[in-house]
Each structure stands twice: as structure tokens, then as C-alpha cells.
Amino acid sequence: MNNEVRVRFAPSPTGYLHVGGLRTALYNFLFAKRNNGKFILRIEDTDRNRYVEGAVEKLIDSLKWVDLEYDEGPNKDGGFGPYFQSERLDIYQKHIDKLIEEKKAYYCFCTPERLKNLREEQQRQKLPQAKYDKKCFHLSEEEIKQKLDSGLPKVVRLNVQPNQTVAFDDIVRGHVEFNTDNIDDQILIKSDGFPTYHWANVVDDHLMKISHVIRGEEWLSSTPKHVILYNYLGWELPKFAHLPLLLNPDKSKLSKRQGDVAVEDYKDKGYLKEALVNFVALLGWNYGDDKEFYLLDEMIEKFSLERVNKAGAVFNVEKLNWLNGLHIREKSDEELLPLFKEELAKSEYATNNYDDDFLLSIISAMKERVTFVKDFIYNCKYFYEAPTTYDEKIVKKRWKDDSADLLKQFLEAVKQMKTNDKEEWEKILHEIVEKNEIGFGRLIHPVRLAVSGVGVGPGAYELLQIIGKEEVIKRIEKALAEIPKLKEQL
RNA sequence: GGCCCCAUCGUCUAACGGUUAGGACCUCGCCCUUUCACGGCGGUAAUAGGGGUUCAAAUCCCCUUGGGGUCACCA
């Protein structure tokens, strides 16, 4: 027996990677890397009714996007494959036969109708819990053989012994106990021959030598069934760690109804993978200090299951936004450039060919004041095109009686400019301010308005430099013609 | 409803018997500043309630309340 850490992320391919799934995958990944173990991806596709075209690919793409590369899994055999449960049917069958032989599991031929009636009857009697009545467990050998031969639809159920205590120790929750009276004879093999989650999961975790089962809390109440199975099979129990749930703002389990839940939604909205991962990691885990900015490698160094919280955590987008801005600011301009170009390609300016120096100068000017990479476009459209309107509030507030005259002086000075250096912009601005003996804002505000159409943005010298001499001249001439008229109307 | 899990500012969390209950997001104020931001400083804001145990309880135990999960031939 070796004690290599092997963990798995075992999603069912329902179409996309849920952010809750991302957190589960992340903790598995961090735990594996922290302990020099293996992170395995296993696809739990045992429900053929829920088959979704392309879901596995999307799942893998999302995992790849956030840099959670698996060590073993689809197209990456580590000797424990296949990693699709739908390709392991014979394995589940082989092990179930042994269980049936030992009466630890049994065939059940009850029809869905009978099951439905049974449940309804139990509800009518206000029984504390609806459970299968074990009818088929009491079938004689002959009856079973006869029904089997006749090809009746059948399932295989777990034979749960009455009134026993099933206990296990959970790394995040501690000691947990259940009484088997509250546990149903779970179906292990469905009538279509496919295993249920419970059966496939236990068999695979054992065969794939999974050392730690790290999954969402929604699995806690079915864990005793799994424990019973491990015991029946004589297999060693893995360590369990049930993670707190991710919650909607109203504290219910995070759902699509109340916002975006797919990783790709966040990607599309322009979140950085680093920010999403950082954020989701902190939903249920912290190292014990005040650090909140994390890159994947730093998390690997510090992660431990012992410091995972028990209580569910509300997925709070505002903090995610803050982290996104933080991660943008932590990246170099050069790192940001390709991300910026991606957004540009999706924008109305896609067909324009901007050179890197221009884009880099926008990044440098705007980096401190954005939340998203796409803000490099939409928060400062004046870098890409001349303003078509002027912010009325700013016109009202900043356009004074002498503004037109000052702008004219500025225009003349601009026309004389020899370079497009920041220093020269600064110089001519200051000369006009001194000559007219006015405050700096008196000139700067009208200039900003004329050139950008708005009252906010980066520093004036940078602004002018990025827009450039020729364009500044055009914009000021236009503003001179339009703003005074606008001012009159207000 | 049965079973199980959980419970510190609005939100994410720290404090693993002894702290003026700390940090972050949000929000508000001030500073920086040509604007908006960034940044800095400061404010508002929490141990769900009740019993125990203890010299001492947010922390341990019990009850109540509240929230959540789960009770499928879905995972």
C-alpha cells in the first residue's frame, strides 16, 4: 500500500463547468499539487438521458482556461483508464456480481409503478421516510432465476442492514454518523445496465486508487451508502472532505436562476482567469493571514483541507470585480496587451489596425482605473474616435466665458509643436496658464472636454499625447464650433 | 416531514478558553490630485437566542431558533 495522494474531479457532463465545480476542481488540484500527488479528471457520464453534445469538450476547455491541467483523464491515460464511466460498464458488472452472490446486493424487478405507489402509500401513512420495502430481496432463488430468464427489466439494489451505525471521519466536518434505518436500498445498477453514481463512484475511486474524495457537501448524506459499499467490498475507505456549498445572495444553493454559474459566462464577461480562481479559492478557504491576492502557485504552497470552512459562502460578484481590477493592475502592460487585443477583436473597432505602441500607451494610461480589460475600450472611446457629443454636465460645470479664448490660444500653440512628447504638451499648457494668470484647471478642463467629450480620464498630458497633435487640432476646432452653441442651449 | 450539515459586521473571513472581536469587499468621510480612478487615512457595521462548564466562553456542552443539503432507475 502506498500513500500517494490521488484525487479526482468527477463532473457529469451537463454542458458547462459550474463555478461550484470550478471551486471543487480547484481544491482538488491544489491539494494534489501541494502533496505532490495526481489530479485526475473522470467523466461521470452514466446518465444517458442527460447526454449533452460537446459538454465534455467544453468542460475540458474551461479547466484548461483556468490552468487546472489534469495529470490523468480523457486523452491522458495514467494506467487507470478509461476515464469515462460509460466505457467502464464491464468493470461495474464484474464487481456487482460478487456483491449479489454474497447477498449484499440483490436484483429488484419492481416496476416504476409499484415503486411510485409504494412511495405514495408511505407518504399517506406519514411515515418518516419513504424507503424501498425490500420486496425483491425476499424472492426465492427460483423466483429470481425465473424472472431473470424471462428477461424482465431489473435493477440491482444495495442490501442495507437495519439499525446499524455507519460512521466516517470527514476532514472538514469531523466525525459523522448515520443510522442505516434512514438509508434506502440504493439502486446500484439501473435497468439500462448503467451504474448509478453511487456504484460507479465507489468502484472507480477504489480502482483508480483515489486517496482523498474531495467533493461538494451535497454528497455528504449519500456518503454512508458509499461507506457501506466499501465495507461490503472489503476495500479501504478513502479520506473524505465535503466542501461547503457556494450560495446565491439569498443563501440558497448557487443556481443559474439567480445569475451566472458557468465558468465560460465569467470568461465572456471579461473576467481574468486569475481573478476568478483567486476569488473562488477564497470562498471557503483561507490561510489564516490577511492575504487576499493569490496566484495559483502561491495557493498551492499554502493550501490545506484543514483550513477549509464548514459554512456555505455567498458568491459575491462585487468582491470578484475588485479582485479583477487588482489582477489587471498586477499584470505588466505587455501581459495585458494580448488580452486587450482579444477584446478589441470583439469590439466595433475590430477592423482597425492599431499598432502595439498605441495600445500599450492606452493600457499604461488606463490601467489604474479599470475593472475589466474591455474597459480599455469602453471607458475611453475617445482614444479611438473623436467625440460626437459633449457631456452636458461637464459643459455646464467647466465651460467658462474665457474657455473659448483659452482653447484658441492652446490651438495655436499646438500647431507650433515640434514633437508629440509628454513634456512638450506639459510645456505649452503651462505657458498658457502663466500668460493668462489662471489656475491650471481653468485650461485643462475645457481642453479635456474638447478632446474627449467627457470629464473623466487619465492625466491631461497623457491624454493629449495618446490622441496626438493632428487629431487634437481637429477636435479642438470642432469643439470650438460646437460647445459654445451647446452651452447657450443649457 | 425524516436524516444530516451549518451559524462572527450586508458579503468573504481572522481569532483554534484570556484581543478595545482583526482584515477585505461594499458604503460613507478626509487626504493625494487638473478630472475620474489608483493609493493612503479614518468612520458605520458582527459573535442568532437561552441555559450550562470554567477564575475566564465567539471559542467547549445542551436546548431553541434560523439557514442549507439530502431523501430518484440525476449526478
Which residues of chain A (210-239) touch nucleic strand B at CB < 7 A?
Answer: 217-222
Which residues of chain A (251-290) touch nucleic strand B at CB < 7 A?
Answer: 251-253, 282-284, 286, 288, 290
- CA end-to-end span of chain A, whole Å? 83
Per DSSP, A167 falls in state: E
Residues 6+ apart with CB under 8 A from A126: none
Cis peptide before A82 (omega within 30 of 0): yes
* Cα–chain center distance at A334: 25
What value of ipTM does the predicted structure carry? Answer: 0.96
Q: Tell me the C-alpha distance between A56 and A15, whole Å.
A: 7
Per DSSP, A262 falls in state: B
Which residues of chain A (18-57) touch nucleic strand B at CB < 7 A?
Answer: 44, 46-47, 49-50
Kindly report, residue by residue over A363-407, the tens digit of the pLDDT. 999 999 999 999 999 999 999 999 999 999 999 999 999 999 999
Instruction: Give ∠ CA A268-A270-A271 in degrees, rounded to 5.
Output: 110
Active-site annotation holds for A374: no
Beta bridge partners of residue A213, listed in sequence order: A240
Q: How confident is the model at residue A335 (pLDDT cuts 50, 70, 90)?
A: very high
| Region at A130 (left for phi over 0; alpha for psi -120 to 50; beta for the rest) | beta
Query: For B73, which residue's CA is nearest its C1'?
Result: A190
Kindly report, residue by residue over A405-463, the tens digit of the pLDDT. 999 999 999 999 998 989 999 999 999 999 998 999 999 999 999 999 999 999 999 99
Kindly report, residue by residue over A57-71, the tens digit of the pLDDT. 999 999 999 999 999
User: A26: which 3 cell numbers?
Assistant: 480547484
Q: Is the pLDDT of residue A1 over 50?
A: no
Place of cell 436500498: A185
Query: For B2, which residue's CA is nearest its C1'?
Result: A128
Which SS3 state, helix, strand or coil, does residue A413 take? Answer: helix
**Amino acid identity for residue A468 in this structure:** G
Q: How confident is the model at residue A259 (pLDDT cuts 50, 70, 90)?
A: confident
Q: How confident is the model at residue A2 (pLDDT cuts 50, 70, 90)?
A: low
